[in-house]
Amino acid sequence: KRRRTSENVDIEDRLESLISRVGEKSTSSLESNLEGLASVLEADLPNYKTKIIRILCECAVKLPEKQSVYTTLVGLLNAKNFNFGGEFVEMLVRQLKEMLKTEKFEEARLIVRFLGDLVNCRVIAAGSLLAMFDNFVEVTLEDNIPQVRSDWYVYAVLTALPWVGRELYEKKDMEFQKLLVTIDNYISKRQKIHVPALRVWSSDSPHPQEEYLDCMWAQVKNLRNNKWIEKQISRPYLAFDSVLCEALQHTLPQIIPPSHNEEVMYPLPTVVFRMFDYTDVPEGPAIPGSHAIERFLIEEHLSHIIKTNHLERKDCAAALLSFTMRNKIPLDYMICEVMFGHLFRLPTSPYMEIMVGSTLIELCKLQPKSMPLVLAQAAEMLYERLDTMKTTCIERFANWFAYHLSNFQFSWSWADWVECTHVNPLMPKPKFVAEVLHKCLRLSYHQRISNAVPESFSALVPVKPQARYKYADEGAGQLPGLMTAHRLLEVIKSKCTPEETLVVLKELPNPLADDTDEPSHHPLRIDVFVSTLLHLGAKSFSHSFAAISKFISVLKMLAENEEGQICLLKNMYEVWSTHPQMMVVLTDKLLKTQVVDCSAVANWLFSADMAPDFTKNYVWEIMHSTINKMSKHVEKLEKEAEEARDMLDAAKKKAADGLEYDDDDNVPTEEQVERMEERLELVQNQQKRLFLIIFQRFIIILTDHLARCESESVDYQTPWYKWVIERLQEVFLAHHNLVFQYIHTLESLLFTSDIDIHILEVFQQFCALRS
């Protein structure tokens, strides 16, 4: 192996920069840039061949939006140097196989597409590509495999066809037709139980929400009807036809999909997000129809730009707006649809919500004449379609909208939405507005938000957040703990120790003592202490945290068991019911300091005391953050236990090989590792129990509702039902990787055949995501 000298490094870096930047904006034409680069690389091939191949392979996967630039470049190099072409293809195929084996399916799909485009550039023989496609599509004939496996292989083939369909049609029509027949058969027999779980809207009006493979197949069939000619892909290789047609082609080796096993995680299916059609675009070029292949190609291209640039929102916005064919399509609308498609994607969004929000703000800055209008139109349309929108998506929409407004002085034509103030406040529209205003309040302050909306919206404006200290209320004289509360207030103010508060609390009688000799907890002590402590820390989050930290030992003592913890959380609610954000951060603090357990939080949220707020977003904010906290904890212990086990095993191996034992390595003992593993098992069980509690409580309240509606002969489809059943769905989807571990337990313990079909359906749709 040659040593990398500093000169080599310079040249290699230069090559990397030259290659990765070709196709970007430039003063000269793309063709002349490509020609120039091909000559430079040809000259460098003798010394830097491996490096050049490596860079090009990387670009194929990492810069898919410039795919045809790179396939053309490879084509030009292949025409000059046949061996290079061969080695490049060999390397790319090796990568493809590796990606398939390591379950990097999206990267693998991009390589498949790239290989297809290499047929156009006369690098690969059409017949050998078709052979690979045949192998892929043959997966649909395998027995006992999950549908997601065959779906992926078919999808990989279909998404390459806009590029290479025409070549296959011209050169291998018979074989190509056969392939398409096999795909058609497959598409017609797929199960689609999962679709309701993934749809953003339950209604197909005004736009059908199609399953992704169905939609793709419809688009490809249209492409076939157009003789495989599309209007979207830029094909720089056409300019080099005379050079490329002279080149010799390579034959792809056999590429056989790795066989299936239980462990493999295939990509989940999706539903295509659509919010605009040509009637929504007032002027300029029309938006391609939903079954036009161009619609897919633009969406895919924009998605790739976002993926490449999502870590730099300014670059991302600029790159989106300089889309190659921006004058031939209604670009602002397409960007908007793709961005919202990402935001609303189920089961989970591929990006943080704030990435979408801040990039949309950048787009408004760069395109101030049109983008804000398109976004306003989008917000208006989304609002109009709230009634059938999924709860999770309504929440994401509300979070984004509040954030967006906060960057634009909260100005919005609220008066247009006044109708929502006349209907049942549990209906999606008033609820959405109330949640938006709540989130606006969290980013701003009460007066500002009250002033931002018309008088008629006052019922939807959140009340001013305030701590309520009931022992200072009028009529507090009736409260049994009043005297103690006041004394406690005094001693804490005079900077007492935690122990001294216990002395004060001691005098309180336990109201539970009348019913039982051994009360599980002491509700009155908890009440007096928690109310007073939170009241004293009410000034800010920091003050509250400081108060909790100082008296953590007292809190832990009072809330020894789950009953006590739930009681503590109820008292927190009494104090802070008008300040959801405070409850969110306080619960978080109580969990982190292990004053309360995750299961106590879940049980509290489902308790009767929380029923008035049960459909509010903040309750679910707390629920999901609790689940996330639990899973982070499990992950951490898993990692620690695994590392410790590895270290111990390595040390044992060393010892067995007769190597000296090194004290400095901090190798854990067998007992230590076992203890860690026991601890891990314990928290894994806690995690499982948490999910079981949540699902069980869902089943109970939903069953209650359905039974009550049936006995009273009223429609069960109430607004409350919509929120709750869709929150159940959300828990499945938002934590799908975790919940899948428990699927058999859930099936045998909770989601059994005797529960109501409406509840069972949610579970079945979830299971179908991976079946």
Partner 1 sequence: MSTTLYIGNLSFYTTEEQIHELFGRCGDIKRIIMGLDKVRKTPCGFCFVEYYTRTDAEMAMRYVNGTRLDDRIIRTDWDAGFVEGRQYGRG
446 vs 486 by CB, closer to partner 1: 446
**Least distance to partner 1, CB of residue 556, Å:** 21
Cis peptide preceding 347, ω within 30 of 0: yes
Residue 525: Cβ within 10 Å count: 25
d(CA 691, CA 740): 11
**Least distance to partner 1, CB of residue 358, Å:** 4
d(CA 212, CA 378): 22
3-state secondary structure of 688: helix
DSSP code string of 294-324: HHHHHHHHHHHHHHHHTT-HHHHHHHHHT-T
429 vs 579 by CB, closer to partner 1: 579
235 vs 636 by CB, closer to partner 1: 636
20 vs 407 by CB, closer to partner 1: 407
**Least distance to partner 1, CB of residue 226, Å:** 41
d(CA 695, CA 751): 9
**Least distance to partner 1, CB of residue 580, Å:** 11
**Least distance to partner 1, CB of residue 591, Å:** 11
234 vs 406 by CB, closer to partner 1: 406
36 vs 368 by CB, closer to partner 1: 368
Q: What is the DSSP letter of 389?
A: B
- Contacts with partner 1, residue ranges (CB under 8 A): 311-313, 352-355, 357-358, 361, 399, 403, 406-407, 409, 439, 442-445, 540-542, 545, 581-582, 585
**Least distance to partner 1, CB of residue 448, Å:** 9
3-state secondary structure of 407: coil
Paired tokens of 177: 């037709």
8 vs 628 by CB, closer to partner 1: 628
410 vs 551 by CB, closer to partner 1: 410
Tally of helices (H runs) and strands (E runs) in the chain: 33, 0
Paired tokens of 616: 């509010």
Query: In whole angstroms, how far apart are CA 442 and each of 393, 433, 578?
Result: 20, 14, 12
**Least distance to partner 1, CB of residue 314, Å:** 8
d(CA 237, CA 147): 37
**Least distance to partner 1, CB of residue 442, Å:** 4
d(CA 157, CA 475): 74
**Least distance to partner 1, CB of residue 407, Å:** 4
In 3D, which of 147, 157, 158 has the Cα closest to residue 190?
A: 147
**Least distance to partner 1, CB of residue 545, Å:** 8
Paired tokens of 418: 């006044």
Radius of gyration of the chain (CA): 31
361 vs 731 by CB, closer to partner 1: 361
290 vs 631 by CB, closer to partner 1: 631
d(CA 213, CA 271): 9
SS3 of 358-384: the string is HHHHHHHHHCCCCHHHHHHHHHHHHHH
* Contact of 735 with 630, CB cutoff 8 Å: no
Q: What number of CA atoms fall less than 13 Å from residue 230's CA on the CB side?
A: 27
396 vs 727 by CB, closer to partner 1: 396
212 vs 545 by CB, closer to partner 1: 545
Q: What is the DSSP letter of 50?
A: H
* Contact of 602 with 697, CB cutoff 8 Å: yes
**Least distance to partner 1, CB of residue 445, Å:** 8
Residue 46: Cβ within 10 Å count: 8
Q: What number of CA atoms fall less than 13 Å from residue 514's CA on the CB side?
A: 3
**Residue with tokens 């000799």, as numbered in its chain:** 517
249 vs 626 by CB, closer to partner 1: 626
* Contact of 383 with 429, CB cutoff 8 Å: yes
DSSP code string of 462-512: PPPP----GGGSTTGGG-TTHHHHHHHHHHHHTT--HHHHHHHHHTS--GG
295 vs 439 by CB, closer to partner 1: 439
d(CA 751, CA 188): 30
Residue type, 268: L
**Least distance to partner 1, CB of residue 440, Å:** 10
**Least distance to partner 1, CB of residue 355, Å:** 6
**Least distance to partner 1, CB of residue 465, Å:** 8
Query: In whole angstroms, how far apart are CA 372 and each of 65, 162, 314, 384, 440?
Result: 26, 33, 16, 18, 19
234 vs 581 by CB, closer to partner 1: 581
586 vs 676 by CB, closer to partner 1: 586
**Least distance to partner 1, CB of residue 468, Å:** 17
d(CA 342, CA 270): 11
In 3D, which of 302, 295, 396, 415 has the Cα closest to residue 354?
A: 396
Strand (E) or helix (H) holding 424: none
**Least distance to partner 1, CB of residue 629, Å:** 9
